[in-house]
Amino acid sequence: MTFPSIDLRAVILLAGALGALMSFVLYFLRRSYPPTIHGLGCWALGPVLTFVSTLFFGMRGMAPEFLTVVIANLLLMSGLLLLYQGSRHFYGQPPSWRPWLLSLAAAMGGIGWFTHVQPHYNARLVLVTAYLAFLFLRHALLLRRLGQPSFAVRFTSVILLIESAILTLRAFSAFTVDAQGLLDATPIQTIYIAAYSVVMVMLLVGLILMASDRLRAEMEHLATHDPLTGILTRRALIKACEQELERCHRHGRVMALLMLDLDHFKAINDTHGHLFGDRVLLDFVARVDALLRKPDRFGRFGGEEFVILLPETNDDEAMVVADRIRAELEVPGELPTYTVSIGVTVSRSGDASVDALLARADIGLYRAKDKGRDRAELE
């Protein structure tokens, strides 16, 4: 059976062109996505470098080897390294340029040696494929370690592992098969280059899927969290309360609600300005949040009014939490001291909805205000 002849030069150039197309997609994603999603710049620039490298690889035999071998491999390795560093940035990891640039310089020294000083294609092939196999493996392990268990992350990490395995096998094959050059259309070389071309396109698709997942997560977070304080919105907290109340009815347990209102907050805004008022709100949320348990839910109902859900908490325990919050605000901080009034209530078997608890907590809150503020009242 004769292995079909494929123009490897055309395959290399096609792979580069498809990578460049994906690069444009990533570039426009970077421009349209929120700045909180990092790494897209490196993901967009990496395929550009690999595309230019394919142009130089495609000129093999028609241009100087320094350009078609040394520079082409430098651009290829640099482009794939940018994809890796982009993933680190995507997950909030510090850059690791120094060790990689040192290893890249060493690899380029070896490539230059086996190209101009002691020409040896197989030795050069082993060096390049081993370096890239290790880079793909590190990239896959990074996604496995830091990525969420989503389809996009699993897909991308599997693609990286497959390419790392292919490159490793190609490196070992160089010890048994004497190749003549990059464009030598042997079966193993054809499979290697064709596989690389497909994998690179799928890798970039995976990165785009990861960016889309992150955008969706960002949008879901914005929909359920207050933009200033970062705690739950009124709607999200009420939903959490409804779920907890249903659980209380089902298992015969209780939950507590605290309704909090910063005292004389309008006067703070009028005296110091709204920016100072925002600082007070952020300070209040940070202090209160540090006192809450992991299952507790903290939300902003609007302006200076907040609600706290305390699962499996009775009235005495809820009052302890309220008093602890008041005591925390008495501790001097960077801002002038301020106080809070708190209405406290606990779920009852006859509560048909969360509205009943909110109404009682509101009554307790207004009683606390009528009694002089800076106090908690149980209703």
| 171-205 tens-digit pLDDT | 887 777 666 666 565 667 777 777 777 888 888 88
Number of structural domains (the chain) is: 2
Is residue 2 domain-resident? no
Of the three residues 174, 192, 223, the one that is the final residue of a domain is 223
The whole-angstrom distance between residue 329's C-alpha and the CA centroid of its chain comes to 34
Is residue 216 domain-resident? yes
Percent of the chain with pLDDT over 90: 38
For residue 298, list its beta bridge partners: 308
Do 130 and 259 have their domain in common? no
Of the three residues 223, 249, 278, the one that is the final residue of a domain is 223
Do 38 and 118 have their domain in common? yes
Q: Give the pLDDT band (50/70/90) at residue 1.
A: very low
d(CA 89, CA 40): 9
Do 36 and 171 have their domain in common? yes
Do 247 and 276 have their domain in common? yes
Residue 357 contacts residue 245 (beta carbons within 8 Å): yes
Do 144 and 43 have their domain in common? yes
d(CA 108, CA 101): 10
Do 238 and 157 have their domain in common? no
Q: How far apart are the first and last CA of the chain?
A: 87
Pairing of strands 297-302, 376-378: unpaired
Is residue 256 domain-resident? yes
Is residue 166 domain-resident? yes
Is residue 3 domain-resident? no
Tokens of 261: 């209102």
The whole-angstrom distance between residue 337's C-alpha and the CA centroid of its chain comes to 37
Do 310 and 168 have their domain in common? no
Question: What pTM did the predictor assign?
Answer: 0.73
| 154-174: average pLDDT | 89
Question: Domain residues for 341?
Answer: 234-378
